[in-house]
Chains A and B, each alone.
Chain A
């Protein structure tokens, strides 16, 4: 069953069409990678799916239902969560508080104006679990601005995980990390529970071919190909447009 369906999706910034008639199914529980050169429209596609941008044409279906016109906030309640290409963290706060805010987001407790926030032990507990999942268990008390860059990227994903998403969209989670950090991050993502559908934008071809069930290739807003890793590797169109250029 398809968790996420895009139908003839088109989007433009002024005259510049950055998403062109994209149709795509993401299966439930799938690890789906989206690759393509810079400016291909990957982030824009995520912004469309998560409600930050409105498509010019086409439909997006979540569990078979159109999400047209829904705000990012409402979509988060429908089980969509994302991480951002550029760190979007609560920089002045500790790792624990970053994750606690994330875990509190769908709970009625978030409107409580009187009790101490630490009284909600289950929320705190959940934040700790998310920290463990993203290998940040030892850094709970650290302010974000004291974290290593790779840890910040782990937190970026960890925050998105806290909402128990059905679909997790990760926009270049390993962007800017060192090779060691990248390996750890990718293995953490690979270990995520299988009931979460993961859509991943990533540049490193080795990584993409290793972790994904299927791969979609974008180029200048157009969908070049979708398929299993070996199909993509053998596709002439893809090789010409993308793999050839990046030398993979």
Chain B
């Protein structure tokens, strides 16, 4: 059962938010750039985890949503010349529609077929954008003007520089988290968990699980589409790279490292992965080896991911403090 949002967990959330708001003032400019990278990964991972952690299906194709999200933005703004303010919601709708279509294709397949078919569709889309001349094929396409939202009317908020863009990213991350949080705690969200736990029983009870899978995939795709928007805005260009299967794979890794049973897991996983990657990169060019070792260690020693580790730590601390109240600030995906 979902635990009510207690005063204590609200306090934790506020503390985290304050820290995130102060981040550009505490850390260097490089850190802010990293944070901007973390955020689009985090949003992609939140989308992935809706399908993985909640519904129990492994998608190897979420690159298609972040990738097409980025391309849709380029196409709407630079080719269709739709104003940026309209393009952004249109991209979200577009990736949601793609999610509906893909969801309809995979709604009746088993978990292995699901993995293979999502991969195949993503590769197909990758191939298409690789070939399209208008958007520069393999080289990609750079923004004609800017793809960043003009928020200077709001107290001079300048998204063209790193820190201002960071706050825009943060706003998007919080918005996505709020929507997904409500969605996953709703009756609809509870059905997705039921599908993860036992599809046969859900059908027997009278649930139309195919509909739920399709809509879950659309919501998940739309979230990843938001990540695509931020990716394109960050680079001020698009290219086929976010459409590659490696991106889908990395997102899965981040989710598992962060803890797929926890709502916050994907965000922690993305932050950990990107920060560790950059730290290792600055030390050695063979960073990928150490990255691999670090992840194996995490999966081996912290089976429930970083979020799971924090929850255990929290419970342990409580017990030591003599409060002894079981329960954790992060809501478990299943509960």
Mark A residues whose CB is within 8 Å of B.
50, 71-73, 76-77, 81-82, 84, 88-94, 96-97, 100-102, 104-106, 109-118, 120, 140-141, 159, 162-163
Contacts and interface: CB of A to CB of B under 8 A. Distances in A.
16 contacts: A73-B207, A77-B206, A81-B205, A90-B193, A90-B201, A92-B196, A101-B205, A105-B202, A105-B207, A109-B187, A112-B188, A113-B183, A113-B188, A118-B1, A162-B205, A163-B205
Q: Which 7 residue pairs across A and B have the least CB separation, nearest first? A: A76-B206, A90-B197, A105-B205, A113-B188, A105-B206, A88-B201, A92-B334
B187 A76 contact: no
Given A88-B200, A90-B197, A92-B197, A113 B186 contact: yes
Interface string B171-191: 000000000001101111111
Contact of B190 (A72, A77, A84, A104): A104
Interface string B191-234: 10110111011111111100000010000000000000000000
Contacts of A92: 196-197, 334
Contacts of A91: 197-198
Nearest to B5: A116
B334 A93 contact: yes
A50 B205 CA distance: 11
A96 B190 CA distance: 12
A97 B186 CA distance: 13
Contacts of B201: 84, 88-90, 159
A117 B197 contact: no
B4 interface: yes
Chain B interface residue number, banded: 20 to 34
Contact of A110 (B1, B191, B215): B191
Interface in B62-76: none
A111 B212 CA distance: 9
A115 B200 contact: no
Contact of A101 (B186, B194, B335): B194
B2 interface: yes
A84 B200 CA distance: 10
